Amino acid sequence: MLWYTGKRLLQIIPVLLGATFLIYFMVFAMPGDPIAALYGDRPPAPGVIDQIRDQYHLNDPFIVQYFYYLIGIFQGDFGVTYSGQPVTEVLARTFPVTIRLAILAIFFEMVAGILVGLISGLRKGGIFDATGLAVSLVLISLPIFVLGFVAQYFLAIQWGWFSPTVGGDPGFVDLILPAIVLATISFAQIVRLTRSSVIETQSLDFVRTAYSKGLTRRRVVPVHILRNSLIPVVTYLGTDFGTLLVGATVTEGIFNVPGVGRTLYQAVLKGEGPTVVSFVTVMVLLYLVVNLLIDLLYAVLDPRIRYA
Amino acid sequence: MPDTSSSKPRIEHYVAPLEETPLAAIDSVKTEGKPSNLWIDAWHDLRRRPMFWISSALILIIVFVALFPGLFTNESPNEGCQLANSNGAPVPGHPLGFTRQGCDVFARIVYGAGTSLSVGIIVTILVFTLGVLFGAFAGYYGGWVDGVLSRVGDIFFSIPYILAAVVIMSVLANYRSVWVISLAIGVFAWPATARVLRSEILRVKNSDFVTAATAIGVSRFKILWAHVVPNSIAPVIVIATISLAGAIVAEATLSFLGVGLPSTFMSWGNDIAQAQTTLRTAPQVLIYPSIALSLTVFSFIMLGEVVRDALDPKARAQR
């Protein structure tokens, strides 16, 4: 396990460097002179320009600039937003909200998705299964902002079950509607994944053994079938986290949830390029770390991975 | 049975004397019935499935609308909009009412199909090309080629492609067009395709027909493109269909976020974004383009799923 962890940690380094390099390159390629943009119509004295260029290492070659940027990231310096707040400060304020939203969404999609997927898989070809497959196909096809608006219009505005916007400092209860919307697309994927995994596991030898030694269905289904069907679902959570990040940006924008996603959404809407880049960098780093953790968790669950 | 006791099984090649038996008689190992392959089997399965016909019909209609929007509406999507009609209810000739700018909702939906479809197709071509090139070389040549290509893929895979597209589109704020947005989406969306093709090629490249091609002296490069890739491409085609849907969603999401196409373009994402401010008073302006978008995405995902099932015997058994 230690060896595997070490190998996996080493593997993430080139990806980390590459990802930050790509993001930095995209920003570097941005047309226009950042100093000129700072001043507008009245250019400052040439000496001032030189001083600023020196201060921000703008005279250095691209690769050196990237190096400074990388050091900044490792020191927790993600730059400042347009209004002059350090990105880290904004993160400290907005992050807990997004974490709450994400936990709630992951909870909904896992519980509901695994339950529906399990029943569908066990009753393959039945009415429940057919309905589940059809509904999940429709849900996968709905872009998250469409789903968000439909839910907001019908559940909140028309029927008044929820508040249409969140705002303020929301607790778990306020976040139920956005979390359901955020969970929906992954829910459909989890249903399909669990279903096919259950069908596959069901026909394996150890399940037959379990039945033939006299265990009841109530014991075989949760202990033998479900547990062994969950491994692909756990790995899916890694890819899903990317969807969740993008989804959070849209959902938090629609429901006015004061999280990281809404901050990114508003920065994008206002065209605040540097802020967008800072937040995307943070999200990508987060995505990489979460995927690393899930890979490690996966190795704990399945010994075959560790020794492969 | 060949002798299995020796370390290597001996393969006996029977060469018929040419003057005695005509070659054609030896080569023809025709058993009863027509020859069958993966695609023919899949087609037999597909044509019995209503989902295949429904999705194909929907896609054909959407393509037709995108190619000839003028046949479906006499209204112009952008000109002749009367602010007096802002968010107006349907009247004869304008079946779905008016947008906030007083434009005909139906006309905007009809003309938006072209934008969505072009982005979808350009992205798919880009993703397919990059994915096949990277996946094929990585899987077939292995070794350091695989190491380098797969690591490059990992780097691009590590950034969720909509987030990457958000950055690219913010950077290229002054150059927004169908081509630029397609490039922004496609450049980060290809690694999934490459991974699928790579693992498929790893499976195929040790097959007998590859050994046979090597034996008769076909070059490695030609074996890859003439034999290995065509036999590994099936799952990639399924992914391409589904990624077309993904690209359409990505374009709409970017336009919705405000970093997609400029508002002069007919784009469902733009229309939905503009209609959100009046969701309470005029929900229909938002609902109709949403339905068009979802239905398009749905058709492509449904087609991809049906074809995937047809191509994969394992999935067929699960039905």
Q: What's the 3-state SS for B109-146? A: HHHHHHHHHHHHHHHHHHHHHHHHHHHHHHHHHCHHHH
Instruction: List, for residues A177-199, the tens digit of each pLDDT value.
Output: 888 898 988 898 899 889 888 88
Token pair recorded at residue B317: 């058994």
| Alpha-carbon gap: A163 to the closest alpha carbon of chain B (Å) | 13
- Which residues, numbered 149 to 168 in chain A, qualify as contacts with chain B under a Cβ-Cβ cut-off of 8 Å? 149-150, 152-153, 157
Burial class (CB in 10 A: 0-12, 13-18, 19+), B56: middle
Q: What is the distance between the alpha carbons of residues B286 and B159, in angstroms, rounded to a whole number?
A: 30
Do B279 and B286 contact (CB within 8 A), yes or no? Answer: yes
Rounded to 5 degrees, φ, ψ at B67 are -75, -40
CB A184 within 8 A of CB A151: no
* Residue A246 pLDDT exceeds 60: yes
Domain B42-79+95-318, CATH homologous superfamily name and number: MetI-like (1.10.3720.10)
A19 touches B: beta carbon within 8 Å: yes
Q: Chain B contact for A29, CB < 8 A?
A: yes
CA atoms within 13 A on the CB side of B155: 17
Domain count, chain A: 1
Which residues on A lie below 8 Å from B287 (Cβ)? Answer: 150
B184 in Cβ contact with B164 (< 8 Å) = yes
Neighbours of A138 (CB within 10 A): 14
A143/chain B closest Cα distance in angstroms? 6
> Token pair 């969807």 is at which residue?
A243
pLDDT tens sequence for chain B (319 residues): 444 444 555 666 666 555 655 555 555 555 556 666 777 878 888 888 888 899 999 999 999 988 888 777 777 777 767 666 666 677 766 677 777 776 778 888 888 888 899 999 999 999 999 999 999 999 998 888 888 898 888 888 888 888 888 888 877 877 888 899 999 999 888 988 998 899 889 888 888 888 899 899 888 888 888 888 888 888 888 888 888 998 999 998 888 888 888 877 888 888 888 887 777 777 778 888 889 999 999 999 889 888 888 887 665 555 5
Those of residues 67-96 in A touching chain B at CB distance below 8 A are: none
pLDDT in tens, A146-178: 888 888 888 777 777 777 777 667 777 778 888
* A243 with B160: Cβ contact below 8 A: yes
Per-residue model confidence (pLDDT) at position B6? 46
Q: If pLDDT is split at 50, 70 and 90, which confidence band does A133 have?
A: confident
Pick the closest to residue A76 from A65, A62, A87 (CA basis). A87
Q: Are B278 and B87 in contact (CB under 8 A)?
A: yes
Q: In chain A, which among 225-254 make CB contacts under 8 A with chain B?
A: 242-243, 245-246, 249-250, 253-254
Q: How far apart, in Å, are the Cα atoms of B123 and each of B117, B128, B149, B197, B247? A: 10, 8, 21, 18, 6
| DSSP notation for A24-91 | HHHHHT-SS-HHHHHHTTS---HHHHHHHHHHTTTTS-HHHHHHHHHHHHHTT---B-TTS-BHHHHH
Please report, for the domain that includes residue A157, its CATH number: 1.10.3720.10
Q: Which two tokens stand for residue A304?
A: 């075959």
The more confidently predicted of residues B118 and A8 is B118
Res. A110: pLDDT tops 80: yes
d(CA B163, CA B161): 5
Which chain B residues have a beta carbon less than 8 Å from that of A144?
Answer: 253
What is the per-residue pLDDT for B311?
A: 81
Range of the domain at A204: 100-256
Q: Which residues of A touch B166 (CB under 8 A)?
A: 264, 268, 276, 280
Residue A168 lies in a domain: yes
The count of other CB atoms within 10 Å of the CB of residue B169 is 24
Give the ipTM: 0.80
Are A77 and A158 in contact by the 8 Å Cβ rule? The answer is no
Q: What is the mean pLDDT of chain A?
A: 80
Count contacts between A and B (CB, < 8 Å). 131
B290 contacts in A (CB within 8 Å)? 143, 146, 149-150
Domain regions of chain B by residue span: 42-79+95-318
Contact call for B257 and A269, based on CB within 8 A: yes
CA distance B94 to chain A (A): 23
* CA–CA distance, B254 with A143 (Å, rounded to integer): 11
* Residue among A23, A124, A287 minimizing CB distance to B167: A23
Q: What length is written for chain B? A: 319
> Please, what's the b/e burial string for B243-280 (b: 16 or more CB within 10 A of its CB; e: otherwise)?
bbbbbbbbbbbbbbbbbbbeeebbbbbbbbbbbbebbe
Contact predicate A151/A166, CB 8 Å: no
Query: How far is C-alpha A196 from the chain's CA centre?
Result: 24
Residues of A with Cβ-Cβ distance to B253 under 8 angstroms: 143-145, 246, 250
Percent of chain A surpassing pLDDT 70? 89
Q: What is the CA radius of gyration of chain B?
A: 26
CA distance B195 to B189: 12
Asked whether residue A231 is assigned to any structural domain, the reply reads yes
Q: Where are the alpha helices (DSSP H) in B158-282?
A: 161-171, 178-189, 191-204, 208-215, 220-223, 229-232, 234-257, 268-275
What are the tens digits of pLDDT across the range A19-75? 888 877 877 766 556 666 666 667 777 777 777 777 766 777 777 877 887 887 777
For residue B155, the chain A residues in CB contact (below 8 A) are 14-15, 18-19, 22
The C-alpha atoms of residue A231 and residue A219 are separated, in whole angstroms, by 19
A159 Cα to chain B: minimum distance (Å) = 12
- Compute the average pLDDT of residues A207-228: 85
pLDDT at residue A76 greater than cutoff 90: no
